[in-house]
Amino acid sequence: TDIFSYWCELYPRSANAQDSLADALEARQQFKEALAARLTAVSLARSNKDTRLHIFESGLKDLRTKMVP
């Protein structure tokens, strides 16, 4: 996850960087941290009018499903 955290530092307005970080965190089962990154990705995508918003929203929905006890 270090490389993705670094990428987020280099590109703080990148929804894709946050989404990639979330993927890495989710793979390590760090769901709370992944949720924060996914929420940031969606927020950035909305702000930037990113055409991939639907992809980031889908990732957020999938993660929330995994987090339900």
The confidence score (pLDDT) of residue 48 equals 97
Q: Assess contact for 35 and 63: CB atoms under 8 A.
A: yes
Kindly report, residue by residue over 4-30, the tens digit of the pLDDT: 999 999 999 999 999 999 999 999 999
The confidence score (pLDDT) of residue 41 equals 98
The confidence score (pLDDT) of residue 27 equals 96
Kindly report, residue by residue over 35-64, the tens digit of the pLDDT: 999 999 999 999 999 999 999 999 999 999
Produce one character per residue of 15-30: b if its CB has 16 or more CB atoms within 10 Å, e if not. Answer: bbbbbbbbbbbbeeee
Q: Assess contact for 68 and 31: CB atoms under 8 A.
A: no
- Report d(CA 29, CA 44) in Å as an integer: 23
Give the end-to-end CA distance of the chain in Å, rounded to a whole number: 25
The confidence score (pLDDT) of residue 14 equals 98
